[in-house]
Amino acid sequence: MRYLPLAKIDKGMFLANTIFSNDGKILLKKRTKLSPSYIKRIENLRYTHLYIYNNEDEKWDCSGLISDKIRAEAMAVLWDSLISAVKRQPINANKVIITIEGILRDVLQRPDALFNLIDTKTIENYIYNHSINVCILSILMGKKLELEREQLKELAIGAFLHDLGTAYIGSSTKKINELSTQDTVQIRQHTKYGFEILKYISNFSFHTANIAYQHHEREDGSGYPMGLIGKDLHLYSKIVAVADSYDAMISDRAYREAFWSGEALAELEQDSPLKYDPKVVDALIQSVAVYPVGSVVLLSNGEQAVVVEVTSSKTILQHLQTTDDFPEVYKDSELQIEKRLA
């Protein structure tokens, strides 16, 4: 299995991750054998990287802790919620709750799960995959912070809908240094808009709406919309702030290339305690694979391999040359990962 840039993807290879439309329809199923026309289609969807199987019967999972069924459902629900928000109509809270229950079930059934994929978002599907990722990360972090099941549910709903307010402002592909003061003021309003939509939904707790409001606040008061400091921020908002920043960092954006997960974690660690709560950053560090699935690494025995599975207890690799050899790395095993090569 490999994580490859589009330029290296060739006909005859097998897709290792299902490709969805933004409203949750399956466009290309996992294990599809790629033809030139499929590759053209993927190119038109503006994918830059994808997970690929070397052969048809590889079993490695590149779906990111939730099943394709739940991912499709989540994308469809977010699509509908954003449309409802644009039309100033109420969102379907019951559908959101059912979807979040599905995500919670999938994530919590694997006690040693880590957030373990390199990003494959495109500019067009950014908000859908970002919202799902922030939701999954927040659940993993909340679990590390010993939240109860009902608290995880409140947190997960707020994490999933944290950027709902962007429906009112549209998306910008401008680079950060190209934004006018007016653009920045406008973008920052998404926190208030999200709060306004969510606070009237009686099936959601107030904390859910509060996440939309506070997820850009920072410990030192340098965030927005209120410039609140750490002691005035709810724990859920602190969790989503860190999950949101991490997922944005590991994504390609209009203004910069994606960070590798190790770099993003180091950056967030550096920004705590000033911007982020250290215990929350620590929960993120415990929830994320430093060498996610698809990373090409150098092993302590000098060999090169690709990560094909990673949990908090072990990493399974596949030799680059002899692809039917699968060394395993544990915390105390003699074999260790030295560094990331690609």
Q: How far apart are CA 161 and CA 134, in angstroms?
A: 9
Binding site for Fe ion (CB under 5 A): 163
User: In the complex, what is the shortest distance from the CB of residue 240 to Fe ion, in angstroms, rounded to a whole number?
Assistant: 9
User: In the complex, what is the shortest distance from the CB of residue 179 to Fe ion, in angstroms, rounded to a whole number?
Assistant: 15
Q: How far apart are CA 71 and CA 120, in angstroms?
A: 14
Residue pair 155/139 in contact (Cβ under 8 Å)? The answer is yes
Using the minimum distance from each CB to Fe ion, give the nearer residue, 102 or 194: 194
Q: How many helices (H) and strands (E) does the chain have?
A: 11, 12
User: In the complex, what is the shortest distance from the CB of residue 1 to Fe ion, in angstroms, rounded to a whole number?
Assistant: 33
Using the minimum distance from each CB to Fe ion, give the nearer residue, 163 or 247: 163
How much helix, strand and coil, in percent to the nearest 5, is found in the chain? Answer: 45, 15, 40
Using the minimum distance from each CB to Fe ion, give the nearer residue, 17 or 214: 214
Using the minimum distance from each CB to Fe ion, give the nearer residue, 73 or 244: 244
User: In the complex, what is the shortest distance from the CB of residue 155 to Fe ion, in angstroms, rounded to a whole number?
Assistant: 16
User: In the complex, what is the shortest distance from the CB of residue 54 to Fe ion, in angstroms, rounded to a whole number?
Assistant: 38
H-assigned helices in 91-189: 93-108, 126-144, 149-160, 181-188
Q: Residue type at 26?
A: I
User: In the complex, what is the shortest distance from the CB of residue 187 to Fe ion, in angstroms, rounded to a whole number?
Assistant: 9
User: In the complex, what is the shortest distance from the CB of residue 38 to Fe ion, in angstroms, rounded to a whole number?
Assistant: 34
In terms of Cβ atoms closer than 10 Å to its own Cβ (0-12, 13-18, 19+), residue 28 is middle
- 3-state SS assignment for residue 309: strand
In terms of Cβ atoms closer than 10 Å to its own Cβ (0-12, 13-18, 19+), residue 111 is exposed
Q: How far apart are CA 180 and CA 325, in angstroms?
A: 54
Using the minimum distance from each CB to Fe ion, give the nearer residue, 64 or 165: 165
Using the minimum distance from each CB to Fe ion, give the nearer residue, 100 or 164: 164
User: Within 13 Å, how many C-alpha atoms sit on residue 98's CB side?
Assistant: 9
Of all residues in this chain, which one has the CB nearest to Fe ion in the complex?
Answer: 163
Using the minimum distance from each CB to Fe ion, give the nearer residue, 244 or 277: 244
